[in-house]
Chains A and B, each alone.
Chain A
Amino acid sequence: MKIFVTVKQVPDTSGTVAVNPDGTLDRASMQTIINPDDMNAVEAALTLKDELGCKVVAFTMGPPPAEGMLRELMAMGVDEGVLITAREFGGSDTYATSQIIAAAIDTYGVEPEDIILAGRQAIDGDTAQVGPQIAEKLHLPQVTYAGEIQKDGDVLTVKRILEDGYMTVKVHTPCMITCIKELNNPRYMNIGGIFECYNKQVVTMTYETLKDHPLIDKSTIGLLGSPTNILTSFTPPQKGAGMMLAGDGKETTDKLAGILAAKHII
């Protein structure tokens, strides 16, 4: 039994975000982090590994420096990393991305007992589309927004969190589960793990590795193979500053209430 975890290195959007004059993101000036929801997927995989002693393999698609992120995950306990990287893969939208990652996972080999875990969504795009689309391309069932996962033989019982409640879904392996932050608290790297991670294997899959896979075709990958195109990107204008009311006493709140009443807001 194996657990595949798909992870993404993303710019840290919680800090200051620099935008180029042409409206694109100045990625060079930003810190990269492991996508937060993906950390919950990794933790879920490691929790299952602690219980069942299975192998955990992390998959990422990105430029070669993403290997550093795979090493960090190995220091947490992930057994092996797969780095999917090629110029041909650049500019892929969610459709093309899932096509490539599905091909990579399929090339590695999915067995009946296996589970694929992904984060719900990445903070750079917030689409939540790649997980379900990988599942579709691999013809596997999916459960998204997992807040609890229990494994009993080849059946997983997943608590799927909705806006107004939850569903309990039973699903057979092999399957895709996307994880949310309520699922767990990701562990830290440990000292032993940091030493060990450099003895573990990172497999690189390039266009050459995957080009004969049925999912990989120049017309379905990369910028040209992406069904969606960016028409334009822009920064929203900042709203002008409003009226600051001096003081924090009753006279100030009276004044505010007076303005609101005069404008028929209250």
Chain B
Amino acid sequence: MAELKPGARFKSAVCETEVVVIAAPEGELQVTCGGVSMLGEGESADSDSQLAAEAGGGTELGKRYTNAAGDTELLCVKPGDGSLAVGGETLVIKGAKPLPSSD
């Protein structure tokens, strides 16, 4: 369990994935990648952690991942093999809103 403060960075314990919190509800939440709790600043992985097969969808660089309620959003800053979940709910890619470039 961890506090998901905007700007906080989490690393996967089982793959290369790294995310930055864009938005999340207050309070302690469980954030996982590949089915295993992600690591906050200064935390290190247990050597026997393994990517769970059912959580192996992978992450893509630069995609924003969100929950159904839309109140939690993680930005993938390094891609990897695991998929992301918060509080047990698997996050999905937030659809891109096509906007013309204005600058």
Please determine whether chains A and B interact with each other in the same assembly.
Answer: no
